Structure 1
Amino acid sequence: MNPVDLVIVIVYLAAMPIIGVLVGRRQKSANDYFVGERSMPWWAVTLSVVATETSTLTVISTPGLVFGSAFLFLEVAFGYIIGRVIAAFVLLPRYFRGNYVSAYEFLGQRFGHGLQGTASVTFVVTRLLAEGLRLFAGAIPIKAILDHYGIHTAYWHIVVLLTVLTVIYAFVGGIKSVIWVDVIQWSLYILGAIGAVIFLSTKLPDGWLHTAASQGRFQLTDFVSNVFTNPYAFVGAVIGGAFLSMASHGADQLIVGRLLSCRSLRDGQRALIGSAFVVFVQFALFLLVGAMLWVFTGGRTGATATAVTAGRMSADDVFSSFIVNDLPVGLAGLLIAGILASTMGALASALNALSTSTIADLYQRFTHRSIEDAKLLRQGRMWTLIWAVVFAIFASLFTNSKDPVIQQGLGIVGYTYGALLGSFLLGLLIRKARQPDALIAFACTVVGMAFLILFVKFDKTTAAVHIQFGTATRTLVPLATYWYTFAGVLITMLVGGLLALRHRHADPRAAEVEVEVEESPEVAA
């Protein structure tokens, strides 16, 4: 790596905390810290949502998908659009109507503090695993740079550095700093991807589009593959993507916290739906980079493509190898800074979301204390620091993990998202359901999903179901991951719905959280 690239990375790492502190240094209240006094412009929240959900793994691995599955990943992104539109008009109005700062306050009002606390703790565990892995992934390119210059250090040193730089502005500026820094960080990695496209376009031969298309690199749909075992079979990808997006953007405080900082419900809906289209375009851009890389490496005859096909190189390594070995001076540094931006943006968002959920869903609800605003602000900042330390520890543990543990960390949302989204839908659709019903359904879903993910296998050809207590064979594979949230919701609704049949009358709490659309012109709009 050229020293110019190293300077770009260093300047970025120094600039982000400074900008974040300058933007959010004048915190006036706890409401300002947690939801920005609901004053954030919807377009900034849109980009912040996209930056929050875009991890280092996404930036690095998406181009490599073209080598194995062409543009089929856009089927999932299409499902994201459907899921976010539903969440925008079904779930988001409840949060704004209740003037909540946490999504799980809805569950507390609908069922009781027991389910609210359960959902919050589940969110905490999920975020710790998922964001700890993201933080570790962000340390990988930094270590590669340092090793190149003969500076050998451990991963955990880099993890601590990234955490310290991120927590500076998350601690001082709260959600405002997080959102505005997210906007900058999103712009950074998108500019890097556009720069890669421009550079590749000058290196590819005439007719490269036809070459890639004739070899199926632009295939957008798959109506042939088994919907239960292939994650990119059209029906499974779209339905699974829709339910996954409803859960991640309608029942996960990581995203909902950003949406609640908008000036109004209408702006929140614009931000949520707009993020789906931005993500679609973003994925298309990274996949275009992948298609160009496929031609750049010589297609199926190229060394990189052959290595991927033969299993000697992971598809995740394609873009990373290209950045290090082929990009010109300056552009490589910009892209590496963009990769780090995705890491720091996700971490800052997680710190703010965990702090908010800890105060709103756990501390205030279970202590039943009325806390003055200044003390609440101090509590929020204190928990931001606490969670930063915990994240650094978790990410350091990942550095010593083997692949199966990392894979479990990546797939952890499969165990919990169905239970979270299912609890919200149970409260909205089953008026007789009460807190014990919801808690039992929640527990059954987590256990049921663990059994489904770990032990239920499907035959690739016939889709016949097998129970296998061991490693999957070539013919027996797990259920495609995009079905996990849908399956979890199904279990929650089935168990909770059956238990609700015990009751003659609707739960009185159900009426308290209903939103009458006709009463609010803004909701109707």
Structure 2
Amino acid sequence: MQTIDLLVIVAYLVATAWLGLKLSGRQTGLKGYFLGGRDLPWWAVCLSIVATETSALTVIGIPVMSYLGDISYLQLGLGYILGRIVIAFFMLPRYYDGEMLTAYAYLGKRFGSSTQMTAGVTFLFTRLLADGIRVLAAAIPLKVILEGLGVDLGYFAITVILAVVTIAYTFIGGITAVVWVDVIQMMLYVVGGIAAILVVASTTGLGWLGDAADAGKLQLFVIGESQLSGENSFLASLLGGAVFAMASHGSDQIIVQRLLACRSKVEAQKAIIVSGLVVVVQFAIFLLVGLALWGYYRQATPQDLGLTRDDEIFPLFIVEALPPGLSGLLLAGILAAAMSTLSSSLSALSSSTVTDVVGKLRKEPITDAQGLRIGRWATICWGLAFIAPATIFRSDEGNIVVLALGVAGITYGGLLGAFLFGIINKRARALDANIAFVVAVAVNAFFFVMEKYVVGEVWVAWQWYPLLGVIVTFVVGGLLSLRHPDRIEQAQEETAGSSTR
């Protein structure tokens, strides 16, 4: 690591923040701040979705999967595409039915304020935990960089710095700044991944591909292991991945906010479907990076290389093996990509705070000026709050991608279940949906806590969490809804009664 790399990192971070603010302009209203005036092109939203859902987790986490295992993680991408198609034609039309600022406004329209608030508050705390882990993912390469320069700040100090810097441009520019910065960052770190592969190929040749094939690391489909507890099994990846995508991209405000910022429903549908194809390509690139690193380091374990976390393997290669300047640019891309995810979360969290919580607690409607002021204060508060979970999870030794997805999956099933339950079950009332939602979250939380902190083994793979939550929501909510008459039958009875009178 040389001084030029550090200068490149600083220059890039300053330039992306400035460009994001320059492209966004100063926002003066809620629709502009949270939805970019509904005037963002579909391709920019598409790339922003990909950058947000993967970011630093993809860059440093996915290469570890093929480095230590194989490329079977790519199965998940097939499920993601399937889930996105369902979102495009089944869920998106309902979000565009009216001037909705958040995904949970639909639940408010269907069940009332209590359900909208329940979903909104749950989203706030789940996103806080999951993206606190993403802040940790950004801190990992930065810690490797600073240690190479003889500086040891520690993870806590690094997460504080990242949070404060990201708050700045999100506070001013809103979702428009976030989306345009996402586009630039995604292009950079994908090009950086390809550059890493080319550097290894020019140094060692392509013999590592043959060695990887002989070692079984090119296995794509995993059929033999348990389809329930096997985290890499084909069924869990395809079906579980499809439901996971429906939950994460159809009921999570961080993605839905982008889709609502498109110019039309058709453009939003195009953005969500194409993003699935882009994700598969991106997964393939970084899984190939992991195989290249496996060949470069001659099959050594991360511990053999003196690393404290498996996720540090790619940052180590960037610092040690890439040419000066290129290593700084790629590390800057990793940091900026992680910050883009954080800024996306801040924008989504502040919009949900204003619309789904504060707006429902107030007796009078929130004006644009009031909402903008509350949203900006919420941006600051949530940005600082990310520091806590990043500090809590830094001692976790598991793969950081699986950890983040597992935490998010705890509530995804309940959120998706509530949406589908409201659409399909016409008898259901707000209390039915609220109780079913809470029970679904509790069931998934039980399996997560048992795996991570009690028994230490997987009972239910994280890919199944959303589907399990949907099933629990439908069963519990369906049983509770039997107390009420069918709305169509009730309307017919009321009509018959009025005609008799």
Q: Same fold (TM over 0.5)?
A: yes
Aligned 8 A contact 1:67 1:315 in 2:
no
Shift of 1:397: 5.0
Shift of 1:18: 1.3
Q: Distance in 2 between matches of 1:509 and 1:228?
A: 42
Shift of 1:208: 4.4
Q: Distance in 1 between matches of 2:444 and 2:490?
A: 29
CA RMSD of aligned residues (A): 2.6
Q: Which residue of 2 aligns with 1:414?
A: 409
Shift of 1:361: 0.7
C-alpha spacing 1:113/1:213, structure 2 compared with 1 (3 Å): same
Q: Which residue of 1 aligns with 2:482?
A: 501
Q: Which residue of 2 aligns with 1:188?
A: 188
Q: Distance in 2 between matches of 1:63 and 1:267?
A: 32
Deviations along 1:158-181, one digit per CA (max 9) or x if unpaired, are 222222221221111111101001
Count of residues in Structure 1 that have an aligned counterpart in Structure 2: 490
Aligned 8 A contact 2:60 2:137 in 1:
no
Shift of 1:31: 0.8
Q: Distance in 1 between matches of 2:488 and 2:414?
A: 20
**1:303 and 2:303 correspond:** no
Aligned 8 A contact 2:127 2:345 in 1:
yes
C-alpha spacing 1:507/1:64, structure 2 compared with 1 (3 Å): farther
Aligned 8 A contact 2:4 2:324 in 1:
yes
Q: What TM-score do you get using the length of structure 1 for normalisation?
A: 0.87
Deviations along 1:365-424, one digit per CA (max 9) or x if unpaired, are 22132233233222222221222222245434555x5659x8876632232111111000
C-alpha spacing 1:507/1:443, structure 2 compared with 1 (3 Å): farther
Q: Which residue of 1 aligns with 2:381?
A: 386
Deviates more, 1:28-37 or 1:362-371: 362-371
Deviations along 1:210-246, one digit per CA (max 9) or x if unpaired, are 3433332222111111111211111111111111111
User: Structure 1: which 5+ runs fail to align?
Assistant: 458-468, 511-525
**1:342 and 2:361 correspond:** no
Q: Give 1:248-397 correspondences, 5 Å limit.
A: 248-298=248-298, 302-304=299-301, 307=304, 315-396=310-391
Q: What TM-score do you get using the length of structure 2 for normalisation?
A: 0.91
C-alpha spacing 1:172/1:306, structure 2 compared with 1 (3 Å): closer
Amino acid at match of 1:497: G
Q: Distance in 2 between matches of 1:120 and 1:246?
A: 17
Aligned 8 A contact 1:186 1:341 in 2:
no
3-state SS of 2:130 partner? helix
Q: Which residue of 2 aligns with 1:82?
A: 82
Aligned 8 A contact 1:297 1:305 in 2:
no
Q: Which residue of 1 aligns with 2:434?
A: 439
Amino acid at match of 1:471: V
3-state SS of 2:226 partner? coil
Q: Give 1:53-68 correspondences, 5 Å limit.
A: 53-68=53-68
Q: Which residue of 2 aligns with 1:240?
A: 240
Amino acid at match of 2:472: I
Q: Give 1:179-218 correspondences, 5 Å limit.
A: 179-205=179-205, 207-218=207-218
Aligned 8 A contact 1:55 1:343 in 2:
yes
Q: Distance in 1 between matches of 2:62 and 2:152?
A: 29
Shift of 1:248: 0.4
Q: Which residue of 2 aligns with 1:137?
A: 137
Q: Which residue of 2 aligns with 1:492?
A: 473
Q: Distance in 2 between matches of 1:84 and 1:177?
A: 25
Shift of 1:144: 2.9
Deviations along 1:344-375, one digit per CA (max 9) or x if unpaired, are 01110001001100111111122132233233
**1:158 and 2:158 correspond:** yes
Q: Distance in 1 between matches of 2:22 and 2:250?
A: 31
Q: Distance in 2 between matches of 1:104 and 1:331?
A: 43
C-alpha spacing 1:392/1:208, structure 2 compared with 1 (3 Å): closer
C-alpha spacing 1:327/1:51, structure 2 compared with 1 (3 Å): same
C-alpha spacing 1:58/1:312, structure 2 compared with 1 (3 Å): same
3-state SS of 1:54 partner? helix
Aligned 8 A contact 1:133 1:410 in 2:
no
C-alpha spacing 1:443/1:333, structure 2 compared with 1 (3 Å): same
Deviations along 1:52-87, one digit per CA (max 9) or x if unpaired, are 111423211211211343110111111000011101
Aligned 8 A contact 2:58 2:283 in 1:
no
Aligned 8 A contact 1:139 1:159 in 2:
yes
C-alpha spacing 1:191/1:367, structure 2 compared with 1 (3 Å): same
Aligned 8 A contact 1:304 1:318 in 2:
no
Aligned 8 A contact 1:433 1:507 in 2:
no
Deviates more, 1:46-55 or 1:257-266: 46-55
Q: Distance in 2 between matches of 1:503 and 1:353?
A: 35
C-alpha spacing 1:159/1:455, structure 2 compared with 1 (3 Å): closer
Amino acid at match of 2:481: A
Q: Which residue of 1 aligns with 2:495?
A: none
Shift of 1:507: 7.9
Aligned 8 A contact 1:87 1:250 in 2:
yes
**1:168 and 2:168 correspond:** yes
Aligned 8 A contact 1:13 1:165 in 2:
no
Shift of 1:497: 1.1
Amino acid at match of 1:362: V
Aligned 8 A contact 2:145 2:319 in 1:
no
Shift of 1:252: 0.3
